[in-house]
Amino acid sequence: MSSQPIQRILRHLTVRGYVVETHVDDETEEEVYLADHPHRVGMFIRRVAGGLLFWSYFRHSERAQNDLNGFLLLVNKTNRDALVARFFVDADYDLIFEAWHPDRYARDEFDLFLDAWQHDCMLCLSVEGLEEYLI
């Protein structure tokens, strides 16, 4: 996989106000990027299946463990209306956001992806009652 598209994407993120850091995953020894933003949901990025996986997570509250069905119903509500992301609850009861993007870069296309990602993140976080399951 060429490193050029990922470098252009990371540069694009910095232009959009993200602070990007590179880390190495202890288990896989692969590069993982952390893109943090003062007003948007931060994200991690790693190479997966010929493209890039963008993901974020929110830690669960005690209620998520005690009312897993209620938590899952709210998460499923978001999945119905999401544009590019999928949302699920992992084995630790944390809420995971994921979206895959091909390993290519076109400025306008990536801007659309970023806007859709942000739309989906805000859609999920605005679901009434979801905040009770997160910390």
pTM reported for the whole predicted model: 0.87
> Which helix (H) or strand (E) covers residue 107, if one does?
helix 107-125
- Domains of the chain are 4-133 (3.30.1460.10)
For residue 26, what pLDDT is reported?
81
Q: Reduce the DSSP state of residue 52 to 3 states and report it.
A: strand
Crossing angle of helices 107-125 and 4-15, rounded to 10°: 60
Coil, helix or strand for 97?
strand
Helix axis angle for 68-81 and 107-125, nearest 10°, is 150
Give the pLDDT of residue 3.
Answer: 54
- For residue 10, which phi and psi values (nearest 5 degrees)? -65, -40
Find out whether 84 and 117 touch, Cβ atoms under 8 Å.
yes
Average pLDDT, consecutive stretches of 10 residues, N- to C-terminus, the chain (135 residues): 78 94 87 93 91 94 93 91 94 94 93 94 89 91
Vertex 51: Cα angle to 3 and 37 (nearest 5): 80
Cα-trace Rg, the chain: 15
Triad 125, 129, 135: Cα angle to 5°:
65
Handedness of CA 54, 59, 65, 68 (dihedral sign): negative
